[in-house]
Structure 1
Amino acid sequence: MKRIVQFVGLCALIQAAAAAELSCPGAIGAMTDVRIDPARVVRPGVPKTLFGFSVDWFQFQQGHVRQGEVRPEVIKWLQPFAGAAYRYSAGNEMDWSAMVGPLASRRPVYANYHGNALPTFGPEEYLQFLRQVNGRGIFLLDVAGKRYQGDRQRMIADNLGLLDWMKGKQQTICAGGQACGVDAYELGNEVDWEKGLRWPGPVYAERMRELLTALKQTHPEAAFVANGRTAPWGSGGAGYNEPSFDASVAQEIGSLVAGATIHPYYDGNPVPQMKSHIAKLAATYRRVNPAAQVYVTEHGRWPSANPLGKWEANWYQASGGWGGISAANFILMLTDMPEVRTASWHAISVSGPWQLFHWNKGGDLVYPSAAYWAMRAIREGYLEDVVMTTPTLVEARDYAGGYRLRMVGMAGADGRMSLLGVNRARVATAVRVIPTANRMAGRTVQTVMFSSDLAGADNTDAEPYRYQISRRSFNAVAAGDVICVPPLTAFSVVYQ
């Protein structure tokens, strides 16, 4: 007995008994049997904050806010990522007091890569946005703004005022247990790297100790995260971005913070390499504070250099199909790293390489990038617990990380089970999902897939929905369900 369901002409999904045949055009190698045991929990309560996004206030308001309100279509597209961490950023310059209150009373403030702009997506609109999308907040504090003119006491007073304001607004906007509060405050952005700052570890730590002492006296409930070293996979520069940055900061203020941040950019450096840097940062802080966690406040695929022209010609690699597959791969890697608390893809923006949504300026329309749909594909199958799955990697040379498939099995409190994965190969591959004890036989199974083309292209103004997710449903069988995964695909298989 056999049933066949076609997948967009690329491959077929067949469920049958043990002797089932498989139709999977272009597949190479033997079929991979994946065994999932929902009774053996590897990581309970995996946080939904591993799916998150960085929000630069100006870039966000430029394409996504109209008359002080976030576009309803943007809210709708983000609601499936319930529980995501949204990092509110203004870089290292944010005059927050000019960004709150009635819109008519606000004044222009400095915006990254733009100059002065009138803020219509200030901290209050951000909190409202968190409530609308059921998100969690990471708020970047201005600890190094030029407007302070080196006056440390002015910087401390300014941030005390911000936290006072935030506490009152969260009690108002987030009343009734609504999940829109700020989980942590980030103490500056890449201060060891940014030109004009380039603070050594001891300098940064000494300044943050003074700030933290003041903030914790009046806001003991607030959590803070220190800057980790920027791009620790690099060699740094003469006199800045020093390899000793993390150790010196952790030693001085590790006991005062909830952890540290890191900004992994891949796939010039493969995703597994990022894991080693994250683990090293966590270990450094946990020597001082065993409960410390890593907050990935930026991540994304770095577009490759273009030796024949401008780098901008390769920007599509960040938010196109390749960027989405890389990001899905990275997020899945984090699911078995309990030391990681949040991960925010960079960024919800309308300029630069990384754009979760694109802005059609002519029609003033926004639409999701291919990267959005890739992350959405694995979020659809994201359940409460990571469970024992064998194998989680299928080794091959198809990807510089040393594997073809990365997979994660999950289980929900409601009895559901899922397999999340990415196929990094440029050819299709066959996977047979075998739940233990055949407890899933007869259940409805839904597959959700996003497939990139071989060029890693993105959606465009001319074809805004060329790349999306596809869904199919079927009934599970006792012998295991065979899934044909197309090339360069992020996928979820959910047993309802």
Structure 2
Amino acid sequence: MLGLALVGCKSTVAPSGDCKPVAVNKGADGLSLMVSDKVVKSMGPEYFGFNLENSEFQLSLWDAERQQVRPEVTRFLKQHFPGAVYRYPGGTTANYHRWKTSVGKVATRKSVRINDWIELPRIEFGVDEYLDFVGEINGQVWYVLNLKGDIDRLADIDKLSGEAADLVRHIGERKVPVVRWELGNELDRFEEKWTSDLYVNRAQTVMAAVRKVDPKARFVAMMADFDAQSDRGINASQYNTALAKGLKDSGITEFAQHLYYDGEPDGPPVTNRIDHLCQSIADAEKGGVPAKDVGFWVTEHARWPEGQGEAWNRNWRQSGDLGASIGLADLIITTTQLPQVKGTDLHALHGSTGPWPMFHQPEGASAYHPSVPLHAYALLRETLLPQVLETKTSSGNPSSYGGGYSARGTVMTNQDRSRYSVWAVNRDKAATEITLNMPALAGKTLKANLASISGGVTQINNYDRQIIDGPKRQSIQLSFDAQGVARYTVAPNSVSGLSFAGTTR
């Protein structure tokens, strides 16, 4: 995704009942979390990922003179995101990226056009540089396969499948595991607007070639996330059902969605995007994928700037402000309660002055520093625990957020219940009290650590200078009464992570 207006991205299909477990119930002001001992799902470091558009990345975070990623970038990612997934070569770029143009001696690589906004003299951050980078920061490889060919033509599919097979061999020779092979990017929309049959046929040919080299390769197919083909009388649900049906006999049970939110008119509230995701889960099942096998990866998500046209361009900074941090945390928190969701990739890993940067380099500065959303993302990652507990949420809406609530949260634990974490967002301009209902901890008084990213206004960003340089931290005491109820307070306009031991010492 790069600067394209999602006209009509609000789903026109009524969501299925699959979203009921994540609905925020109407309550009094504040946030109430009713926590059971039931495990919804397990999560690992792969739940945190980045969409890595190689053009934007190369033009900002790649040091061409030294032929390396900027050291301040590698340090931050290695420290805060061990095991994260890095989606390469990114979004739309992947549809035109012929990988062999990105390997070999850099000086001999040819000029390429892999997006509609710039022609690169050559791809310097190519496949091998990407693999080196991921290895250096202890990340994981995720590759988006080219199903189209070139930006201006549909290539012969046999030639493309041969190139895919060669890519698998190339990566295999380096003994680097690939988490998933994603089958193209957003080919259902805009200039491409492929039918589900075209997508299925080309995907099957490429998958067959990859499996001949690596029989254990795992694939993810791209589903529609809005009604991009309404002019053909086809809505997203119909497209997705047909896609799932066409690929089920090829063993495809996992799918990708791209969810952009909190920037009207084209970025609806998080609840709208989650409703669409739930509908897509139902579409996969309707297409014949057994419910127990359905999996989804949110391979792009971020706040969408408000407005359209020039107004949208003027609001780019909304994609990197505190409001964006709250939105991304809200979406991630919500997906933790959906067992089908296996991971989320934040858009996008670059350091340009445009929308969705993860790093900034103000004019005259010698180094990059993290964006506000990246700090919030790191806060969530540091408090990640492997098991998500069923968490029922109730909240008022003093913020008048379009999703109908002001706060949301989720609770995690480890296998022996010796540790707990609580992720929460507060969209209100006032501090909010969180009520934890955890009967398993009745009568205990526990020490806890509270970390938060917050501010007086949601427009705070780090584009020009590093106003927010990390979470504020404090130690608090949680006193659970005889019914297992404890309370604590979080800051206005905040993303927070609470962590504590489940036993007194």
Indicate conservation of the 8 Å contact 1:380/1:448, yes or no.
no
From 436, 454, 459, give the equivalent of 2:457: 454
Report whether the alignment pairs 1:259 with 2:254: yes
State the match for 1:238 in structure 2.
Answer: 231
1:453–1:211 Cα change, 3 Å: same
Structure 1 residue 345, shift from structure 2 partner: 1.0
Q: State the secondary structure of the residue aligned to 1:92.
A: helix
Indicate conservation of the 8 Å contact 1:184/1:222, yes or no.
yes
After superposition, where does 1:310-349 map in structure 2 within 5 Å?
310-349=311-350
In 1, Cα distance between equivalents of 2:82 and 2:28: 38
State the match for 1:107 in structure 2.
Answer: 110
Report whether the alignment pairs 1:190 with 2:182: no
Structure 1 residue 410, shift from structure 2 partner: 0.8
Q: How many pairs were matched up?
A: 452
State the match for 1:145 in structure 2.
Answer: 149
RMSD between superposed Cα atoms in Å: 2.6
Q: State the secondary structure of the residue aligned to 1:323.
A: helix
Structure 1 residue 453, shift from structure 2 partner: 3.5
Structure 1 residue 441, shift from structure 2 partner: 4.2
5+ unaligned residues in a row in structure 1: which ranges? Answer: 1-27, 175-180
State the match for 2:86 in structure 1.
Answer: 86
State the identity %. Answer: 27
1:240–1:184 Cα change, 3 Å: farther
From 140, 159, 180, give the equivalent of 1:154: 159
After superposition, where does 1:28-427 map in structure 2 within 5 Å?
34=33, 36=35, 40-66=37-63, 67-79=66-78, 80-88=80-88, 89=90, 90-112=93-115, 113-146=117-150, 150-169=155-174, 171=175, 174=176, 181-195=177-191, 197-229=192-224, 231-232=225-226, 234=227, 236-239=229-232, 242-243=235-236, 244-256=238-250, 257-267=252-262, 268=264, 269-286=268-285, 287-290=287-290, 291-305=293-307, 310-349=311-350, 350-360=352-362, 362-389=364-391, 391-396=392-397, 398=399, 399-413=401-415, 415-427=418-430
From 462, 487, 493, give the equivalent of 1:488: 493
In 1, Cα distance between equivalents of 2:398 and 2:234: 33
In 2, Cα distance between equivalents of 1:121 and 1:160: 21
Q: State the secondary structure of the residue aligned to 1:379.
A: helix
Q: State the secondary structure of the residue aligned to 1:117.
A: coil
TM-score (norm 2): 0.82
Per mean C-alpha deviation after superposition, the further-off stretch among 323-332 and 309-318 is 309-318
Question: Which residue type is aligned with residue 166 of structure 1?
Answer: I
1:288–1:216 Cα change, 3 Å: farther
In 2, Cα distance between equivalents of 1:240 and 1:59: 35
After superposition, where does 1:470-489 map in structure 2 within 5 Å?
470-479=472-481, 482-489=487-494
Q: State the secondary structure of the residue aligned to 1:311.
A: helix
In 2, Cα distance between equivalents of 1:369 and 1:438: 37
Structure 1 residue 306, shift from structure 2 partner: 5.9
1:35–1:280 Cα change, 3 Å: closer
In 1, Cα distance between equivalents of 2:86 and 2:74: 13
1:460–1:30 Cα change, 3 Å: closer
Structure 1 residue 187, shift from structure 2 partner: 1.2
State the match for 1:178 in structure 2.
Answer: none
1:122–1:150 Cα change, 3 Å: closer
1:392–1:249 Cα change, 3 Å: same
TM-score (norm 1): 0.84
Q: State the secondary structure of the residue aligned to 2:199.
A: helix
In 2, Cα distance between equivalents of 1:31 and 1:198: 44
Deviations 1:246-274 (A, max 9, x none): 12221111332242211111123111221
Question: Which residue type is aligned with residue 333 of structure 1?
Answer: T
Deviations 1:308-327 (A, max 9, x none): x5322211111111111000
